[in-house]
Amino acid sequence: MTNYTSLLKDYDLKVTPQRVAIVEELYLNGHMNIDDLYKKLLAKFPSVSLATIYKNINAMIEKVFLSEVKIPNTKSVFELVKAEHAHLVCSSCGAIEDVTINTNDVLKDASTLSKFEIKSTNIVFSGLCPHCSK
């Protein structure tokens, strides 16, 4: 079992029951939007507010412990920070999967072609997952 308390402390984040629960849910589910996260936490903490969830998510993003994944035409989802990767999103069922790719070539080409100094990436591929493509 993962020690969520230690993970939070490693990122200099105050350990609260709500934060531990957020980390646990994201660890178990991979990617979650605020509404789904709120529903899960409400079951554990009946008095938790949506504002509390937002406040905690934002604090963890500031410490680069969580990242926001912006997926076109849907609500953003959040995940624990991992090595550089892209996301595969099923356009039928909405499933989200990580795929490890080397983004260096993509960043280099985009930077060279555009003269932009790129600070971050959010690569999302959409299509049909194996289940929906049957």
Task: Indicate which CATH number applies to the domain containing 90.
Answer: 3.30.1490.190
Q: State the pLDDT at residue 77.
A: 95
Residue 37 counted as domain residue? yes
Question: 20 falls in which pLDDT band (50, 70, 90)?
Answer: very high
CATH of the domain at 35: 1.10.10.10
Identify residue 27 by its one-letter amino acid code. Answer: Y
The answer to whether residues 12 and 58 belong to one domain is: yes
Structural domain of 29 = 4-80
Indicate whether 23 belongs to any domain: yes
Last residue of a domain, one of 42, 64, 80: 80
Q: Do the domain assignments include residue 132? A: no
Residue 67 has pLDDT above 70, yes or no: yes
Whether 1 shows a pLDDT value over 70: the answer reads no
Same domain, 32 and 74: yes
Q: Are 40 and 22 in the same domain?
A: yes
Q: What confidence score (pLDDT) does residue 101 get?
A: 87
Say what the pLDDT of residue 17 is: 94
* In a shared domain, residues 54 and 104: no
pLDDT at 87: 93
Number of domains within the chain? 2
Q: How confident is the model at residue 82 (pLDDT cuts 50, 70, 90)?
A: confident
